[in-house]
Amino acid sequence: MLFPILQIAIVGAIFYYLSKWRAQMRRRNVQSWDCLLVRLRTDWSAGRLSDQFLWKEGITATHADIWDRVDGAHGLWAMYQNAGVMLEMADYASKHGSSGAAEVDPLLLEALRSDAMQIRLCVLMALAQYGLSKATEGVCVNAYRAANHYSNMAARMMTLLQEHAAIVVPDYVAAM
């Protein structure tokens, strides 16, 4: 008696999840550029990580001062959220690029996806370590890795936008 009820509950949960996922994908596909820009966290800026943020990959911070430069857990969480939004921006730029332009480089899109996943993984590890032991060396190392990937992703996004959707670059720069 319990097994059929459990099967129905599992199938119902899977159906519910898939319908929510499909609705989310549908909303994501009809988003405008302005909607994406609004979703970027503007209460935190990664400009303190590098002198030429958005224009050059890499950061100028060291492991020792990274925690202060990213503004601690607040900045890490902003990086986590912005990584997902920038990934959606890359998809948007590849779908809605200027007409007649060459197709978006699949290696660039793969690098952006990889950066987003690395950022999210490093941020989650840093926040978990921070929750257990405050700002130790391990937290700073993961924060440094996340910040470095974030800087690389932002610079790659700028390259992608300049090549395929140059009209939106000023909005992206202002939002970052």
pLDDT tens profile 124-148: 988 888 888 776 787 888 888 888 8
CB 43 within 8 A of CB 1: no
- Domain extents in the chain: 1-30, 34-175
* 106-133 and 72-95 helices, crossing angle to 10°: 160
Residue 122's Cα: distance from chain center in Å?
12
Query: The pTM is what?
Result: 0.74
pLDDT tens profile 12-61: 999 998 889 888 878 777 777 778 778 878 777 777 777 666 666 767 77
